[in-house]
Amino acid sequence: MSIATKRGDGGQTGLAGGIRVSKADLRVESYGSVDELNTVLGFARSICQNKEIATWTEDIQRTLFRVGSALATPPESKKQPPVVTEEDIDKLTNLVHQIEATEGILSDWSLPGAHTESAAYEMARTVCRRAERAAVRFIESGGVVQPTILPYLNRLSDVIWLFGRLIEFNAGVESRLRPESKGGPKWSRAW
């Protein structure tokens, strides 16, 4: 059996459970953005020299398969979606606290691109924020998703940002920004 079924040639795709929708559907945009995030994280992991961060990243990627599948499964599907749990969110929250406990890690901001591995995680962070925005648009349009999806994606962007900071911190990267000391605006990573 070939993956080239031609069923999508007219701009439709199949959701979990066999339901056909437009490829422009907000549900498809949501799980497609999560798929893109998983791929970008895979690239970041492939070049990451820090074994602990690489292991954490792989664990997150496995959870993202559940997140994407949950988003791809409409309520009317006969198939039950995988569950994204409070424990999944708690794992990320604990990881945030663990990394933040590194003395000096939050002392300033860095300009993306100061270190190759951290730059890959910065790219993943921006894709994560886009996936979160896509899920919000889907929900605001009336789409139904598990209540843990948005908190998971929100917490995940924090974790991914901290991965980049930890990589830079451990590498001794010096090209950091201190906007308040340079007369510039206060920066926010939640753009």
- For residue 187, the model assigns a pLDDT of 44
| CA separation for the pair 169, 126 (Å, rounded) | 20
Which H or E run includes 10? none
> What is the average pLDDT score of the chain?
87
pLDDT tens figures, 175-189: 555 555 444 444 444
Low-confidence ranges of the chain (pLDDT < 50): 181-191
Three-state SS annotation for 16-65: CCCCEEECCCHHHHHHHHHHHHHHHHHHHHHHCCCHHHHHHHHHHHHHHH
Q: pLDDT at position 188, please?
A: 46
For the chain, what is the largest distance between any 2 Cα atoms, rounded to a whole number of angstroms? 62
- Which two structure tokens, joined as six digits, stand for 17? 């459970």
pLDDT at position 23? 64
Q: What gap in Å lies between CA 79 and CA 88, rounded to an integer?
A: 22
* 3-class state of residue 14 by DSSP: strand
Q: Give the model's pLDDT for residue 161.
A: 95
Taking domain 18-177, whether its CATH number is 2.160.10.10 is answered by no
What SS3 string covers 64-87? HHHHHHHHCCCCCCCCCCCCCCHH
Those residues with Cβ within 8 angstroms of residue 88's Cβ, 6 or more apart along the chain or in another chain:
63, 66, 148, 152
pLDDT given at position 176: 55
Collapse the DSSP code of 177 into the 3-class scheme (helix H, G, I; strand E, B; otherwise coil) and give the result: strand
Place of tokens 């895979």: 42
Extents of the domains making up the chain? 18-177
Strands 176-177 and 109-110: antiparallel
pTM, entire model? 0.85
